[in-house]
Amino acid sequence: MTGFVTTAPANNKIPRPVLWLGALGLLPFVAAMLLAVMAPSIKETAVAALIAYGAVILSFLGGTLWGLVIGRAGDDRMGGLLVLSVVPSLIGWVSLLLPPVMALVLLALSFGCWFVVDTRMAKQKIAPPWYPRLRLPLTVIVVCCLALAVFFNA
């Protein structure tokens, strides 16, 4: 079986469906943040939605690494990378148990840290070379949404 990275396009362009789905995945972050900031009557619900969606997407990012790694049977790093790939799910779960401001801060920090992991995975040729270019703007927008929610709810 050929690995995903070795079959990536030679031009290293971000595939269009990946780009669109990544961008569309920002909509719940932006909508929940705007509601948390601008709609006092539903602020609690909007913050809870932002935290829940953040936890789900953080878990998804860990699952992305899991998917990349399981195709690398025999790689000496496989076990450690699989352990690393479940950390976002655990952090997301913990965020659901924390008070809202703490949860938002934990998620913002976690998304920022996970971008570093994604970048390292691309440098190690575990993730596609275009992956950090996709993840950087998505991460910046997500962290800004979470940070704004903290600022207006602290």
Residue 3 belongs to a domain: no
Residue 2's pLDDT is 46
Number of domains observed in the structure of the chain? 1
**Its pTM surpasses 0.85:** yes
Residue 33, pLDDT score: 97
Contact assessment for residue 121 and residue 71, using Cβ atoms and an 8 Å cutoff? no
Instruction: Answer yes or no: is 8 within a domain.
Output: no
User: Which of the residues in the chain have pLDDT under 50?
Assistant: 1-2, 4-8
Closest CA to 118 of 69, 55, 53: 69
7 lies in some domain: no
Q: What are 98-124's pLDDT values in tens digits?
A: 999 999 999 999 999 999 999 999 999
Q: In this predicted structure, what is the pLDDT of residue 154?
A: 61
Dist CA 24 CA 27 (whole Å): 6
Per-residue model confidence (pLDDT) at position 123: 95
Please answer whether residues 58 and 88 qualify as being in contact, where contact means their C-beta atoms are separated by less than 8 angstroms: yes
In the prediction, which pLDDT does 72 show?
A: 79
The confidence score (pLDDT) of residue 1 equals 42
Provide the terminal-to-terminal Cα distance of the chain, rounded to the nearest Å: 50
**Is residue 26 in some structural domain?**
yes
The pLDDT value given to residue 36: 94
98 inside domain: yes
- Amino acid 114: pLDDT: 98
Q: Say what the pLDDT of residue 74 is.
A: 77
DSSP 77-118: THHHHHHHHHHHHHHHHHHHHS-HHHHHHHHHHHHHHHHHHH
Is residue 2 included in any domain, yes or no?
no
10, part of any domain = no
